[in-house]
Structure 1
Amino acid sequence: MSEATEATEAAQATPEPTPEAAPHVTDHGGGVWGVKVPIPDNPLGHTLVHVLDTDRGPVLIDTGWDDPASWDALAAGLGVIGLAVADVHGVVITHHHPDHHGLSGQVREASGAWIAMHAADTEVVVRTRSAEPGVWFDYMSGKLTAAGAPEEHVAPLRAARASGRLRTLPGLRAAVPDREIVPGELLPLAGRRLRAIWTPGHTPGHVCLHLEEEHPARLPGNGRLFSGDHLLPGISPHIGLYEAPEDTRVTDPLGDYLDSLERIGRLEPAEVLPAHQHAFTDAPARVRELLEHHEERLTGLWRLLAEPLTPWELAERMEWNRPWERIPYGSRNIAVSEAEAHLRRLVKQGRAEAVPGTEPVAYRAL
């Protein structure tokens, strides 16, 4: 149930300077707009909710964080376009994280819109809603202990569990989607050609959405890509672990992400419309940068494993956008999850192994 740690984005994300005069709504042409919806207390600043005009009414791609200020910003942004929330025909969610899916239920209540999501992320939403909230605290306490976290880091989770403060986590009451996004298929949007591309890694069911229409400015390339968090112009998204507490599968989310990146690079869209930062072109070049970044990162971690390290000790030594002692509590949990994902990849590549007999388990380079 590690999805609950995604209250913020990656620990290494850097804030994007956002001038006060920056426009709230961007007209991307061809019946596509971007609306900045703020994320409270998050260095990313905002989610870019995209509005796609269709013959049956506007469809939102993501909705933003479940917060009154975020709701007001979404409604105001739609108003700039000449729309109201009640006009929304459907909601397409790139992935289940609360800065993307948080307002979906409220939009559906106000408009009667359907909500579509990939089945793998719908499973996460259903699992999170159905579990007793204390299960997450127990799971995270055990997971961090197994990763080698010191007792002083685990103690606040146990204290929160004991105190009954269990309804403060984001995503516990996220809306259950009523439609499934099927990879490779066109979404049933009247008058538009929007095809789903499954891009797991950041979440199990993350999807990018390919608008298979000529770019309104006739930029060279194949249509436009709504990339969610999969492909961002200046940030490498967080890649962590997503097993349920009872799940015995050994996943490789970083490997899934790298494979998905290559698939998007081959698509060669004319323009990418991500969920954070800003629109950009030359997706293949950005894909190459990210592939190189992750290979350098894996090689650097492999070198660190010249001495056996637990996932916590590896996270302490990894390079983040600030010193480890200045990384907030919740972001440290995300960082450890990212260290574990990288360890999974190194083990699968045959470049590292668990050291027999260690508890908590330490890993060493091969």
Structure 2
Amino acid sequence: MTQVTQAAQVFGHGGGVHSIKVPIPDNPLGHTLVYVVDTDRGPVLVDTGWDDPASWDTLTAGLTALATSVTDIHGIVVTHHHPDHHGLSGQVREASGAWIAMHAADTAIVRRTREAEPGTWLDYLTRKLTDVGAPEAHLAPLLAAREAGRLRTLPGLRSALPDREIVPGELLDLPGRRLRAIWTPGHTPGHVCLHLEERHPADLPGHGRLFSGDHLLPGISPHIGLYEDPDETEVTDPLGDYLASLERIGRLGVAEVLPAHQHAFTGAGGRVRELLDHHEERLTGLLALLATPLTPWQLAERMVWNRPWEQIPHGSRSIAVSEAESHLRRLVKLGRAEAVGGSDPVTYIAV
């Protein structure tokens, strides 16, 4: 990977592909790697970064360092709807007239969020956390925010509505490039990876390059929680979706992975195997914890995280419980755990 300029924020990956490290405010991930792909009709972005003035300044300065401008952007391909990926898409479109493409499942989330009354999300989250056994001390800040009307500051409430659909298996409309969409649900229902079906510029062995979004990262296991939908009636299986998607990516045999966080890397097949093994080990560990009935909250408290439970911030605890729930869903679907009848809040036990 070759550094170009802009205080180490812009990098060249060869073959008309660059990345810009766009900061994420107050987040341990640090930045989103926004990729700039040259096409015959002008640059196309893969993701855009968080909607924040400093992020916008970094993105526009990076484009200037690449001898282009935000006004020249031809299109935006969004790997998934999360605000560190889709946040600046609307502002880029306003400046350039670029199209925005996203998978239909994530576009539905953007539309639903835009149309919902602002309190809907907090009401839903509070109800869900109550159902999984969250203590009153965890619920209190959410109830206070609802009462105080501090709702429109939540990220993603007014994200830009995409105007093109990413269709899995099809080549995207990038003149002069071969970029194929691969549907990889798990992190979100509509997450996509993007396979650049072109010879690697450094002739690395393998089949092209992969813009992997948050699906495949070199040193982080992506968050796999429940697909949040206040009107959800179907019992989804996000972890099952993710594991199947990982195997699909592993079969591509790409030469290099260009992820949305950390750094580009080779050895995609080995990394896929590591993640598959990680989740199998975690499922096995959860079965041991479920020797006695536990609520999802109690299970999350006992799981191994990157720090002790007592040190995990409030918002991150909600995310951790969602991840515990996704693993429980997987165990139940596999017939390895079940809900205890009559328990309230519901508890689960290994079978």
> Common fold, TM-score beyond 0.5?
yes
**SS state of the match for residue 232, structure 1?**
coil
2:69: which partner in 1?
84
1:223: which partner in 2?
208
1:327: which partner in 2?
312
Match of 2:156 among 171, 176, 200: 171
Q: Summarize the alignment of residues 337-352 of structure 1 with structure 2, pairs less than 5 Å apart.
A: 337-352=322-337
Once residues 246 and 181 of structure 1 are traced to their aligned partners in structure 2, the CA distance between those partners, rounded to angstroms, is 24
Aligned residues: 346
AA of the residue aligned to 1:276: H
1:205: which partner in 2?
190
2:115: which partner in 1?
130
AA of the residue aligned to 1:77: G
TM-score w.r.t. length of structure 2: 0.98
Once residues 135 and 189 of structure 1 are traced to their aligned partners in structure 2, the CA distance between those partners, rounded to angstroms, is 38
| Displacement after TM superposition at 1:196 (Å) | 0.0
| Displacement after TM superposition at 1:22 (Å) | 6.7
Matched, 1:247 2:232: yes
| Displacement after TM superposition at 1:93 (Å) | 0.1
1:96: which partner in 2?
81
Match of 1:358 among 336, 343, 346: 343
AA of the residue aligned to 1:49: V
- Partner deviation per Cα, 1:209-247 (whole Å, 9 max, x = no partner): 000000000000000000000000000000011142121
Does the 8 Å contact 1:243/1:249 carry over to 2?
no
| Displacement after TM superposition at 1:166 (Å) | 1.1
| Displacement after TM superposition at 1:250 (Å) | 0.1
- Partner deviation per Cα, 1:261-296 (whole Å, 9 max, x = no partner): 000000010000000000000100000000000000
Once residues 132 and 85 of structure 2 are traced to their aligned partners in structure 1, the CA distance between those partners, rounded to angstroms, is 29
In structure 2, the CA distance between the partners of 1:38 and 1:243, relative to structure 1 (3 Å rule), is closer
- Partner deviation per Cα, 1:33-85 (whole Å, 9 max, x = no partner): 01000000000000000000000000000000000000000011111111110
**SS state of the match for residue 70, structure 1?**
helix
AA of the residue aligned to 2:41: R
- Partner deviation per Cα, 1:111-153 (whole Å, 9 max, x = no partner): 0000000000000000111000111111111000000000111
**SS state of the match for residue 251, structure 2?**
helix
Match of 2:262 among 260, 266, 277: 277
1:259: which partner in 2?
244
**SS state of the match for residue 149, structure 1?**
coil
AA of the residue aligned to 2:141: P
Does the 8 Å contact 1:221/1:268 carry over to 2?
yes
2:178: which partner in 1?
193
Match of 2:16 among 20, 25, 31: 31
AA of the residue aligned to 1:137: L
Structure 1 stretches of at least 4 aligned residues deviating more than 2 Å after TM superposition: none
Once residues 227 and 57 of structure 1 are traced to their aligned partners in structure 2, the CA distance between those partners, rounded to angstroms, is 22
TM-score w.r.t. length of structure 1: 0.94
Once residues 8 and 266 of structure 2 are traced to their aligned partners in structure 1, the CA distance between those partners, rounded to angstroms, is 20
Once residues 245 and 103 of structure 1 are traced to their aligned partners in structure 2, the CA distance between those partners, rounded to angstroms, is 25
Q: Which has the higher contact order (CA 8 A, sep 6+)?
A: 1
Structure 2: 5+ residue runs without aligned partners?
A: 1-5
1:158: which partner in 2?
143
Does the 8 Å contact 1:302/1:352 carry over to 2?
yes
Once residues 141 and 263 of structure 2 are traced to their aligned partners in structure 1, the CA distance between those partners, rounded to angstroms, is 37
AA of the residue aligned to 1:74: L
Question: Percent identity between the aligned chains?
Answer: 79
2:51: which partner in 1?
66
RMSD of the alignment, in Å? 0.8
